[in-house]
Amino acid sequence: MKTAGIIGGSGYTGGELLRLVLNHPGLTLDFVYSTTRPGFPLSETHPDLLGSTSINFTDQVNLEVSVVFLCLGHGNSSKFLEQNKFSEQTLIIDLSNDFRLSAESEFMGRTFVYGLPERNKEAIEQATAIANPGCFATAIQLALLPLATAKKLTNSIHVNATTGSTGAGVGLSATAHFSWRNNNMSWYKPFTHQHLGEIGESINELQGSATTMHFLPQRGDFTRGIFATAYTAFDGSIEEAVELYTDYYANDPFTHVSKQEIALKQVINSNNCFLHLHLHEGTLLITSVIDNLIKGASGQAIQNMNLIYGWEEGLGLNLKASTF
């Protein structure tokens, strides 16, 4: 058994990670660090954990833990690691954006490997530190990786993606308030979203040249999940496109190409990404759906950990969605 620590376990991502760690057959939860809730039971913040654990939040850190997951706000992981020097044997998995770009991947003697298993599986297996991808970045890259690998992204890419309210975090804001979000929809950060940097690095490296991407993120009036569509010019048949994607993801247990049209509920509460392809007059439309809190965050963190420890990639992640 490996011991696990969680830094910042009071938010949506931390809560989902707690559920996965507590039910993972290879992990024992050692501590959950919080500066605002030390001494309080986890189940007071996460009522769904009632009966699952008697552990309380703590303001103490075990620097010898086997694996530590950082669920902190962007920009805070590097500060925390500077103040808390974990053992060289401790695996560090960061769920913020502090180390995702190659220029920021070297930190305190460690190299943070970009943790998208469908892109970097071999490097992940040898890593001691992981930069977990962003949720939008995960959905969009999985939609485009086969095309970039085949050097077929030679035209502009247009992406429209809608995320649920949990993507905005647990803190209350005007656009996360129920009265505003319910029966409502809006865009934000048009063409400038922070995930474009990590997406661009991966896609451009595979493509071998710079690609132009126009990305419009949207707020949906649902709780969790990302529904993303991307379209670009494609010189080939739909059969060739489907074969390209099916072959690329043949050995990836969580990414699947559907012959039928897909819907968001098919992946909610699971670590899956479902893809669907549609060709119209030389334009290929790729639809990608994920759960932003699992495949887009905590589930992918567990998937990366499994790869590093040499465990079965889906260990503790065999979660089924419900479409009703």
Q: Which two tokens stand for residue 5?
A: 């620590």
Distance CA 25, CA 173 (A): 37
DSSP E strands in 122-225: the ranges are 129-131, 157-163, 186-187, 213-219
157-163 and 213-219 as β-strands: parallel, antiparallel, unpaired?
parallel
Any idea which residues carry the catalytic annotation?
A: 135
User: Where does residue 110 rank: exposed (0-12), middle (13-18), buried (19+ CB within 10 A)?
Assistant: middle
In which element (H, E) is residue 123 found? helix 117-125
Q: Name all contacts of 183-189 with Cβ < 8 Å and 24+ positions apart.
A: 183/221, 184/219, 184/221, 185/218, 185/219, 185/220, 185/221, 186/218, 186/219, 187/216, 187/217, 187/218, 187/219, 188/217, 188/218, 188/219, 189/217
For residue 164, give the amino acid letter. G
Question: Does residue 39 come out as left (phi exceeding 0), alpha (psi in the -120 to 50 range) or beta?
Answer: left
